[in-house]
Structure 1
Amino acid sequence: MANVTRSASIATTLRAAGCVFAEDEARLLIDAARHPDELRRMVDQRRHGLPLEHIVGWADFCGKRMTVSPGVFVPRRRTEFLVRQAAMIAQPGAVVVDLCCGSGAIGAALSDHLGSCELHAADIHPAAVQCARRNVEPRGGRVHQGDLYDALPLELRGRVDVLLANAPYVPTESIGMMPPEARLHEPKVALDGGADGLAVQRRVALGAARWLAPGGFLIVETSGQQALATAGILDEAGLSAQVVSDEGLDATAVVAAREPLRPGNRSSVSF
């Protein structure tokens, strides 16, 4: 009874602070706290807007607990769609690169699905690299620090079967309109996609063909509003692009193959 009362009290506090899933969050905080003082501190952090995942130290992603450290981009549920698209393409043993990896959850989840792969992840942000190592290295993968392709070992050139890129795609002027959890507690480098939100995607597209194996795929998360522009960027880079979406998750991705685009046929990628 005491636990039920405590959970209800915490849920009331969280709900007053604007937490939509207050009851669920209360249970997670109670489970994560090792002693009452820690629980009070965690509830206060959540009440003041710190992301729940940063407080408890993990996020539920593709059915697995992925480590998430403070100051690191929190993997979104919609990004599971990106993993599902990759899982339709990749074969066990594939060479997989998770670019702009953040926590490394995307690459780690695909590795779990495949059972075996050569997994690499890369990010420019030091905190993200440290966090990604906790998710990627136990799965036999490697994490590299640097700016996009500059981070990758040269021996990967022309060998990558699946290149995953959840690059930032929020227009700079729109960051101020994001929820406080994101704009105050996640690194700007993980959010800011430049004036139109597509600046980092352009850089990813320009370098992709040099790193992809023949017939390799680049899969990019984007927004519904930006999808056609993202596909156009990949087409211009010499890839064959197709927009795919999931209305239930409000998720959109562009899948692009390293093959010539057939004239008049944007959707030449097959699964």
Structure 2
Amino acid sequence: MTPPTTSNTPDALVRRLREAGCVFAEDEATVLRASAVDAEHLEWLCARRISGAPLEHVVGWVAFGDLHLDVGPGAFVPRQRTLLLARVAVAAARVRGAPTVLEAYAGVAPVATTVRHSVPEARVLAAEIDPVAADYARRNLGTGAAVYRSDSFTAVPDALRGRIDVIAAVPPYVPTTAADLLPREALEHEPDRALFAGDDGLDHVRRLIDRSYDWLADGGVLAIEMNRNQWAAAGRHARRAGFTVRRRSDGHTSVLTATRPRGRRAGHRCR
């Protein structure tokens, strides 16, 4: 059934979105109008957004830096805060010559896609266990980039062990006790396994730290996004695993940058 049409003038559209609780109604109206092929399509898009679907799922894309990434229902929507991690990953890749870069817990692969566009000489890989998100990752990365069906390394070829220059990840890091702090649209439209990670939110972070050491090349970098309040605990864990650790932060989100020391054999750990 074709939805009923209504006034789609800018002011009317903004008013409808604002009444539905959209905080950035003007910006969302601009995106909806740019994505609609005609007035009827615009009305359909608007009705879906007002019903509570995330804007990015409604229009099928998200702006991420200079990129437009494909995304849709069932997939975690890349957050703008992840641009910090993308910048860290690009900087780490650029100093490694022709680097091999893996985005673990990739979702639709925002960081890997950014690296592919910014460091053309890089060999770019992504690992994502969810089939819906993995399909979007393949679309965003295009031909020539491998997407493995795993959260981190279980599907990555063993020949890459000890040869990856940069591993970047936004693993789930919301504590299960903090579910009531998330927006309703995230809880209702994004998979739980892309959001939650135990009582302190660090279950996947710790696992990734432990597994990454042997996959990184000498001097390779592991970069992980997390909440600023989680960084101290994650940093201690990374040091115990044998990494040297630095912190990047925008005041709310932190990126743990863990570097594997040169000349230390695989499997060695500091205790």
TM-score normalized by the length of structure 1 = 0.90
Equivalent residue for 2:258?
A: 256
Where in structure 2 are the equivalents of 1:59-208 lying within 5 Å? 59-91=62-94, 92-138=97-143, 140-208=144-212
Paired letter, 2:28 = E
Paired letter, 1:171 = P
Where in structure 2 are the equivalents of 1:13-52 lying within 5 Å? 13-52=16-55
Q: Is 1:175–1:191's contact at 8 Å kept on the other side of the alignment? A: no
2:104, 2:176 → 1: CA distance?
A: 21
CA offset digits 1:176-207 (Å, max 9, x no partner): 32001211111111001111100001110111
Any idea what SS the aligned residue of 2:77 has? coil
Instruction: Report the alpha carbon displacement of residue 112 of structure 1 after superposing the two structures with TM.
Output: 1.1
Structure 2 unaligned residues grouped into runs of 5+:
1-6, 263-271
1:53, 1:22 → 2: CA distance?
A: 14
Instruction: Report the alpha carbon displacement of residue 35 of structure 1 after superposing the two structures with TM.
Output: 3.0
2:30, 2:249 → 1: CA distance?
A: 33
Any idea what SS the aligned residue of 1:120 has? strand
Instruction: Report the alpha carbon displacement of residue 5 of structure 1 after superposing the two structures with TM.
Output: 6.2
1:56 to 33, 42, 59: 59
Instruction: Report the alpha carbon displacement of residue 31 of structure 1 after superposing the two structures with TM.
Output: 1.7
Structure 1 unaligned residues grouped into runs of 5+:
261-271
CA offset digits 1:118-143 (Å, max 9, x no partner): 110011111110110001124x3111
What percentage of aligned pairs have identical amino acids?
37
Paired letter, 1:8 = D
The runs of 4+ residues in structure 1 deviating greater than 6 Å are none
Paired letter, 2:249 = S
Any idea what SS the aligned residue of 1:161 has? strand
1:106, 1:147 → 2: CA distance?
A: 15
Q: Is 2:172–2:197's contact at 8 Å kept on the other side of the alignment? A: yes
Q: Is 1:123–1:151's contact at 8 Å kept on the other side of the alignment? A: no
Paired letter, 1:111 = R
Q: Is 2:239–2:245's contact at 8 Å kept on the other side of the alignment? A: yes
1:110, 1:42 → 2: CA distance?
A: 31
Paired letter, 1:96 = V
Paired letter, 2:139 = R
